[in-house]
Amino acid sequence: MSSISTLKHMPFVEAQQYSMRNKLTQHANFASTLQDALTEKPNQSNSDHLMALSLNVNFDEISEQTRRYYYEQVLPNARERVDKSQSVKNQKIQLFEEAVIEIRDIAIKVDIEIDEVNEALLFSSLGIDFLKYKEAGVRADMLSLLEKDVYQSEALTLPEKQILVDTISLEKDKLTLLQESILAGTYSPDEHT
């Protein structure tokens, strides 16, 4: 290709690159805005919530499907792996630790609820895997239920509860990063299996 024809094609190439950068920026902005809209912010003004839970979670909004997974599969499976020869307190700690592992590893089949159809269509139109995104959300909700159970446990001291909550928070952070990578379009199933 001669240098003259190269010069003629330069504006076209630059326009293409600008268009691609613009679309990527718009996608990233949308993903960020959507994540902000879907993520509840902690209410720092109410002192009752400062120690109660690390997130301001409305437990009434956790789906029935999530509650079923948690109470009918996660806890019974975790309970089976608890060493019954330990003290009651250690059994409780081990139950919560096993529940974290179970929540992380359990196979979850999520369905698109009627009220999620529009959101799923929007995700699909952007090439985002809505079911994978929702699965991460279901796992995060189960961790919130577990965190609530930890705080309500009378068998544990405050430092023991805090250690368990820190472990739960680490898992929640991983799920948040997973959801962010799904929204940003950088999620690769090979990296997270």
Whether residue 86 sits in one domain with residue 162: yes
Specify if 144 maps to a domain.
yes
Res 53: pLDDT: 36
Residues in the chain: 193
pTM: predicted TM-score of the whole model, two decimal places: 0.67
Res 67: pLDDT: 83
Whether residue 174 sits in one domain with residue 109: yes
| Structural domain boundaries, residue 32 | 1-38
Specify if 77 maps to a domain.
yes
78 alpha carbon, distance to own chain's centre? 21
Whether residue 131 sits in one domain with residue 114: yes
Written as tens digits, the pLDDT of the chain (193 aa) is: 555 555 555 565 565 666 666 666 666 666 666 666 565 444 444 433 333 333 445 566 677 778 887 888 899 999 999 999 999 999 999 999 999 999 999 888 888 888 889 999 999 898 889 999 999 999 999 999 999 999 999 999 999 999 999 999 999 999 999 999 999 888 877 665 4
Q: HEC profile for the chain?
A: CCHHHHHHHHHHHHHHHHHHHHHHHHHHHHHHHHHHHHCCCCCCCCCHHHHHCCCCCCHHHCCHHHHHHHHHHHHHHHHHCCCCCCCHHHHHHHHHHHHHHHHHHCCCCCCCCHHHHHHHHHHHHCCCCHHHHHHHHHHHHHHHHHHHHHHHCCCCCHHHHHHHHHHHHHHHHHHHHHHHHHHHCCCCCCCCC
Which of 31, 28, 52 has the alpha carbon at shortest distance from 42? 52
Whether residue 50 sits in one domain with residue 34: no
Are 69 and 138 in contact, with CB atoms under 8 Å apart? yes
Are 110 and 131 in contact, with CB atoms under 8 Å apart? yes
How many domains does the chain fold into?
A: 2
Specify if 191 maps to a domain.
no
